[in-house]
Structure 1
Amino acid sequence: MFQVLCIFIPLLAALFMPFFFKKISSIHTGWFVLVVPIFLVIYYAMFVPTISKGDSVIAQLDWIPSLGISFVSYLDGLSLLFSILISGIGALVVLYSIFYLDRTKEQLHNFYIYLLMFMCAMLGVVQSDNMMTLYLFWELTSISSFLLIGYWNNRDKSRFGALKSMMITVAGGMMMLGGFVLLSIMGDTFSIRELIGQAAEIATNDLFAVALILILLGAFTKSAQFPFYIWLPDAMEAPTPVSAYLHSATMVKAGIYLVARFTPIFASSEIWIWLVTGIGLLTLTWGSFFALKQTDLKGILAFSTVSQLGLIMSLLGVGAIAFHVDGAQDTIFKYAAFAAIFHLINHATFKGSLFMIAGIVDHETGTRDIRKLGGLMSIMPVSFTVALIGSFSMAGLPPFNGFLSKEMFLTAMLSITEFELFNFTTWGILFPIIAWIASVFTFIYSFYFVFKTFTGKGQVDRLPHKPHEAPVGMLISPVILAALVVVLFFIPNVVADSFIKPAVMAIQPFLYSSPGQIDIHVAAWHGHITTELLMTIGIIALGLILFLTLSKWQKVYNLFPSKLTLNNLYDFIIYELFDRWVGGFSGLYMTGSIRRYLSYMLGAISISVIATLFIQDAFKVTLVGATPIRVYQIILIIVLVIGTIATVFAKSRITSIVSLGLVGYTVSLFFVMFNAPDLALTQLVIETISVALFLLAFYHLPKYKKEEERTRFRFGRAFVSIAVGAMVTLVALSAHSQKLIGSISEYYKETVYSLAGGGNIVNVILVDYRGFDTLFEIAVLSIAGIAIFGMIKLRLSRKGEKL
């Protein structure tokens, strides 16, 4: 139980943030928040010995057991790794934010409420075994990230970026929900573990491919894959701690997690392998190429994140091939899944540190424009060192952890050419070529980020602030991450045994029974020159040449038409298609007239109900047991119709009021005829009061003027009126003719005296059987009476009178 509750600890802590912010204003609120991720990372670290053996830990809290929906915390190698990343990086981000955000100028309680809400949502996503609760947390990540990105809501760009991220990710989440529903139909369960056990049977279902594509749409939108990546650069308007957390280690990794978790179910499909690998490589290349077009430090990092996410995604696609081969090739493709998890960890370390350095540069110089920066190396030596380590790791250079996973990435891409299924022998040669080209641009933008910012001729006079090194507190988090970048290079196999191999086992459960069976040993040097090493040398050589000549060929980006972009397509869909076209169409019926709105709604309901009655053959009238119609009843019906018509066509208000009263009194006579004196009395009282109130209000109404309207509107009203009347009549006749169960009135008659101890059936129903209904009706009337009293008192007080 406590394991499930730990997911909600950040959300519970968020409830106390306003108290800490207001009551203990002398201390930065972040110090109280820091306790939460530190506790969580310690708690989840306690599971490492158990999970590293290949075991899993499950805890369940029922939510809607009748529908098979419950909170199931499932900790295996994959979910534990993500949980430690979420809480560990979260702790460093909170520590960084304490020194980055000014407690006297910022609404810190809002910031930390949103951050804790997001932490809870991410923990829920990676630990949920139930697809419905996974979707619940998935959309909570979109909502909380929307609030975090738009934290500075006084800025137009922040609001725009927040809306853009939510529109795209929520739309993808809805697609993913459709895939989850289809999977639950195919497997008759919401449990991911149980669906993995039925993977072979599910793969033969006709709905399999549809569910696959819908789930990938959810993953691609969240992890910023092409063409959905456009929300990520605009999300850089968020405070830097948000960027370091959401866009390096958590939110964008949710899509990666989803693909990894569902790989055992969909890896048997050719569509899955081609889409995950192909879209991943396309995203890698696209992001790395356009990163060099950016001039904002966080913009460069945004596109670099896009490219790195594409790299990880492509590795997961290649790793899925392991389900289709045996023997020597089997190990090669298992290598890809290992590389994906390894690079996921590496990316969290070097990208988190780089985002924090970008925030430090902005904080200390007042700008992130790389064209205004330069020469900061001597002024900010610690920041430069951290940026150098992070950038070199991102470029794939030794002795940094990014070199190891990048080499494994090249190995995986080369292995595709040896695969004989799915036409990889024909098209597979393109994969290592594309990977190599993308790696060249990755090398260039990594150097571009660090050297254009910290070396070269200084432009201190052009900077908004006089630059200086950041405070020690702000440097602690990026320095820790940079240290991990170096440490992971020297002890990769320690990390592999504890975290990576158990995670790979979770991705490929059919291939391993324990992490010890994964015989992969990571090494910077394999004792001989490999193809991957030669490719790396080529990347460095060409990358250096292109970086040194960057000013000569960077203008090539100006050749791309500015109007033909995915961002412009998004703007057209949202602002032109929806706002102008759809808004113009809605303007035709959104006139502000309540009468028209009622006509539209009542007309649509009537047509739908009447059509359903006839289509379903539900209109079968039988008059068995019906009371015979007598002459005086026909006379009352005629009077009722005449009163109704007179009310509609009356030329004065008094005539309309009197005619309406006639209709009400006639209805009360029907109650008398059907032996319902209580209802008749109630109707008479209400009708008398209504007529009296109408006459009292008549004095205050403006003079009656004949409405000058076109005839077609009156025909429309007549049509709606007749349709509603016909619908009510047909529904009543149909209900009377097709009684499947006995009337509840018989139960009332049998029990009104024995159970309720009353003699008047109507009173007993109102007081006993429908006691709560009556109680709430009385409450509504009491509230209305208090409101009327308050309005009268307010009006009299304005006139200087006393009530």
Structure 2
Amino acid sequence: MLFTVLIGLITSSLIVPFGKFVKTKWGIILAFIPLLLFLYYLQYLPLINWDKSYVQHIDWIPSLGINFDFRLDGLSLLFSLLITGIGTCIFFYAKSYLKDDPYVDRFFGYLCMFMSAMLGLVLSDNIFLLFTFWELTSISSFFLIGFNNEKIESRKSALTALSVTGLGGFFLLAGLVLIGNIANTYSISELVSKAQLIQQHQLFPYILGLIILGAMTKSAQFPFHFWLPGAMKAPTPVSAYLHSATMVKAGIYLLARFYPILGNNPAWTYSLMIIGGITMLYGAFHSLFRTDMKGVLAYSTISALGILVFLLGLGTQDAIIAASVFIVVHALYKATLFLITGIIDHATHTRDLSVLQGLRKVLLPVAIAGFLAAISSAGVPLTFGFIGKDLIYEATLHSEKHLAIYLTAAALITNILLVSAGFMAGIKPFFGKLPENFEKIKLPAKSLWIPPFILALLGVVFGCFPTFIGDLIAQPTVNSIMSVKSDFQLKIWHGFNTILLLSAITIVLGTVIYFINKPSEHKLKWIEKLNFIAPITIFEKCYQTIYNFSTSYSHYFHNGYLRSYLLKIIIFAEVLLAYQLYLGGPLHINWELLSAVSVYEVVTILIVFGAVALTLSTSSRLTAVVSTSVIGYGICLLFVFYSAPDLAMTQFTIDTLTVVLFVLVLFKLPPFLNLANKRVLIRDAVVAIIFGIILAMVAIRVLHVPTNIAISDFYGKNAYLLAKGRNVVNVLLVDFRGFDTMFEVVVLSIAALGVYSLLKLRLKSSEKE
């Protein structure tokens, strides 16, 4: 399994040096990578069952409990087949769709990376490995959504998607860390057996909230849904792949995977039912007002994701069965409709539903695919969508009695609106009179219309023969989610009952709304009047507030003046040290601990004070440098008086070098300096005096603290034995703290190179401006 996850990353990295081959006809070879992966996982269909799963364990960081643990069970197999199966169609489609794009090699590099990230996510059996791939999906999708980076709308959409999903990733990480610490394991398989321990912990409400927030952002749940319609600025293959079967389903997968760990309790049930219910109604309602085909599909996708969250929240066996089937139903018809939208956009250069009509006369195979996808989304009998919608109604009707009628009503309204949305995207562009400017349109290359045709046809085949999906895919998936064995069969016909009546009402009323509702710019502008209370408006206002604060903060604290940085650092240190001294209580000085003051020390201190006064008062740069060196040499003498000759030599060397450097720099500076005004001098003097007093107080307090010399004794005893060195200081720097010293040398070397580069920099006159 590890190789199947890494193959996309390896391919992505190889595209960097060999990208020119992707732009040739040989680039079609890339499409066989997801095809081979699909065939590989397809062979596991008859092997995966209730008590059979495949696990791969590879040590990574075992000391932290982080390993490459992969697990293939019913749930992960379902998503792996969707990722690779629909991925195959997308790869073939994208090769023709982007054949003239100069950056097609870059596109396939991002796409391979994203496919690997999704496979790693659904196969991970370690929560930190899962999180790693979770974040990789956000990063790779950022590049895919912003692929047309010359357009400001694409860049903005990519940043919005990354911001929202990245924020959710932060919440998810916090929740995963809490779960791992409580259960004392990071293995998802082991967490299932400790579900009771986790749910009884006092932090469980916070864990549940954090995990749900992470899933909400990735799966575009209200109020974090707004990034998904914006992401429609991406090329159509991206929209078809990310928003039908992969990225937006990552949050659904997360909730399904953690259902046996966090589910089966009221907090889980009501939270997800409310979130999913609001999202599915909100998305379905807004899809009716869109005139852009991608806009219709985006909001209907939001609604479908809300349905899945709603069903996972309901949590009954019927609901989990419905969710498992609807994941496949939605992936098939939504990928089809997205790919058809791309074909229409390529052919007509518009996605405006108020303009598009009659295209069946020039794009007949595409029209057939659109019609099949539309009726599957509507739940017409003999399509897989019919079975999916029946299962949804069965789940709501068999829920708690006091909620059944309300849940069924919410599902019914949502499905009715989605029928209209599906017809708008899959049927409306192809029926009616063909406009004259579309008469010369020709059927595109087979690699463009065959993939959506296959996906649409599968929606009918699975609807006519549901046993295959039920026994080999849906049943293992339900068993994995619920962690109990369940036996059921998907059937085409369940007789005349309430569920069939609801399905008929759904189709009839949805069709009526489709004929009544005429998409127009007027309706779109009317609904956009409510944008002032929309989540995206609130998000943008929060963003602007944070941006303004950050800008003001940066301009004040990072104004480019070294003296300002030093002043603020010293003031902060003063406040921190003063607070710690305050917590330590009154300062009592034991004069007996202080040594007698000699005449040498007094004379040295007086010299240092005189040098300080001269440094502050002189207007000559050279005099200031010389007097500063006198201060340094005075400190060297103090080190000698207190038996620290090594420090004295170090100080002497550094001080001498500093003086030489300062004198060299003075050749490039005016000989005299302009002293600051009196206010600045007084301010700096006060800050410096306070700093000196605080450090003196710290030094005195240190003298009264019992000294623990255990560390000193260790280094003294082992310096020669372990490091073969007699100078303890040298041994510390080179051996015991060798890495620290090495990094300090590296930092200084980089700084030296930077300074040298600046000194040698020669700018053109235009660049200086």
* TM superposition score normalised by structure 1: 0.87
User: 1 CA distance for matches of 2:585 and 2:193?
Assistant: 44
Matches within 5 A, 1:323-338: 333-338=316-321
User: 2 CA distance for matches of 1:137 and 1:76?
Assistant: 18
- Secondary structure of 1:160 counterpart: helix
User: Structure 1 residues 622, 340: CA separation in 2 closer, same or farther (over 3 Å shift)?
Assistant: farther
Matches within 5 A, 1:254-653: 254-318=250-314, 320=315, 333-418=316-401, 425=402, 427-461=403-437, 466-509=440-483, 512=484, 514=485, 518-526=486-494, 528-551=495-518, 558-560=525-527, 561-562=529-530, 563-575=532-544, 577-584=545-552, 586-612=554-580, 615=583, 629-653=597-621
Aligned to 2:40: 43
User: 2 CA distance for matches of 1:41 and 1:64?
Assistant: 30
Equivalent pair of 2:394/2:499 in contact (CA under 8 Å): yes
Aligned to 1:7: 5
- Secondary structure of 1:152 counterpart: coil
Q: Which runs of 5+ in 1 are unaligned?
A: 321-332, 419-424, 796-803
User: 2 CA distance for matches of 1:778 and 1:306?
Assistant: 54
Equivalent pair of 1:380/1:469 in contact (CA under 8 Å): yes
User: 1 CA distance for matches of 2:171 and 2:681?
Assistant: 41
* Offset, 1:434: 1.5
- Secondary structure of 1:63 counterpart: strand
AA of the residue aligned to 2:407:
F
* Offset, 1:212: 0.7
* Offset, 1:721: 6.8
Equivalent pair of 1:599/1:720 in contact (CA under 8 Å): no
User: Structure 1 residues 365, 64: CA separation in 2 closer, same or farther (over 3 Å shift)?
Assistant: same
Equivalent pair of 2:367/2:427 in contact (CA under 8 Å): no
Aligned to 1:65: 62
User: 2 CA distance for matches of 1:679 and 1:700?
Assistant: 32
Q: Is 1:173–2:169 an aligned residue pair?
A: yes
Aligned to 1:801: none
- Secondary structure of 1:106 counterpart: coil
AA of the residue aligned to 2:536:
N
AA of the residue aligned to 2:388:
S
AA of the residue aligned to 2:505:
G
User: Structure 1 residues 474, 585: CA separation in 2 closer, same or farther (over 3 Å shift)?
Assistant: same
Deviations 1:368-388 (A, max 9, x none): 122221110010001001111
Q: Percent identity?
A: 36
User: Structure 1 residues 132, 625: CA separation in 2 closer, same or farther (over 3 Å shift)?
Assistant: farther
User: Structure 1 residues 669, 294: CA separation in 2 closer, same or farther (over 3 Å shift)?
Assistant: same
Aligned to 2:17: 19
Aligned to 2:765: none
Match of 2:215 among 209, 215, 219: 219
Q: Is 1:150–2:119 an aligned residue pair?
A: no
- Secondary structure of 1:73 counterpart: strand
* Offset, 1:785: 7.5
Equivalent pair of 1:493/1:521 in contact (CA under 8 Å): yes
AA of the residue aligned to 1:265:
I
Match of 1:96 among 93, 98, 111: 93
Equivalent pair of 1:14/1:113 in contact (CA under 8 Å): yes
Equivalent pair of 2:291/2:521 in contact (CA under 8 Å): no
| Range 228-237 or range 762-771, more displaced | 762-771
Equivalent pair of 1:607/1:723 in contact (CA under 8 Å): no
| Range 243-252 or range 170-179, more displaced | 170-179
User: 1 CA distance for matches of 2:595 and 2:128?
Assistant: 52
Q: Is 1:688–2:656 an aligned residue pair?
A: yes
Aligned to 2:767: none
* Offset, 1:481: 0.9
* Offset, 1:206: 1.5
Aligned to 1:120: 116
AA of the residue aligned to 2:470:
A
Aligned to 1:330: none
- Secondary structure of 2:58 counterpart: strand
Q: Is 1:193–2:169 an aligned residue pair?
A: no
- Secondary structure of 1:468 counterpart: coil
Equivalent pair of 2:719/2:726 in contact (CA under 8 Å): yes
User: 2 CA distance for matches of 1:72 and 1:441?
Assistant: 42
Deviations 1:191-247 (A, max 9, x none): 222222122222222111111111111111111111111000000111111111111
- Secondary structure of 1:50 counterpart: coil
| Range 681-690 or range 657-666, more displaced | 681-690
- Secondary structure of 1:62 counterpart: strand
User: 1 CA distance for matches of 2:692 and 2:83?
Assistant: 57
User: 2 CA distance for matches of 1:613 and 1:25?
Assistant: 68
- Secondary structure of 2:543 counterpart: helix
Equivalent pair of 1:44/1:80 in contact (CA under 8 Å): yes
User: 2 CA distance for matches of 1:28 and 1:609?
Assistant: 67
* TM superposition score normalised by structure 2: 0.91
User: 1 CA distance for matches of 2:520 and 2:42?
Assistant: 49
* Offset, 1:392: 0.9
Aligned to 1:327: none
- Across the two proteins, how many residue pairs are aligned to each other? 760
- Secondary structure of 1:61 counterpart: strand
Equivalent pair of 1:603/1:724 in contact (CA under 8 Å): no
User: 2 CA distance for matches of 1:447 and 1:775?
Assistant: 67
* Offset, 1:660: 0.5
User: 2 CA distance for matches of 1:552 and 1:301?
Assistant: 14
- Secondary structure of 1:16 counterpart: helix
User: 2 CA distance for matches of 1:226 and 1:26?
Assistant: 43
Equivalent pair of 1:606/1:724 in contact (CA under 8 Å): no
Deviations 1:476-509 (A, max 9, x none): 2212211211111122122121111111111111
User: 1 CA distance for matches of 2:522 and 2:481?
Assistant: 43
* Offset, 1:551: 3.3
Equivalent pair of 2:354/2:519 in contact (CA under 8 Å): no
User: 2 CA distance for matches of 1:348 and 1:713?
Assistant: 71
AA of the residue aligned to 1:580:
N
Q: Is 1:182–2:164 an aligned residue pair?
A: no
AA of the residue aligned to 2:278:
L
User: 2 CA distance for matches of 1:739 and 1:115?
Assistant: 61
| Range 379-388 or range 566-575, more displaced | 566-575
User: 1 CA distance for matches of 2:63 and 2:453?
Assistant: 50
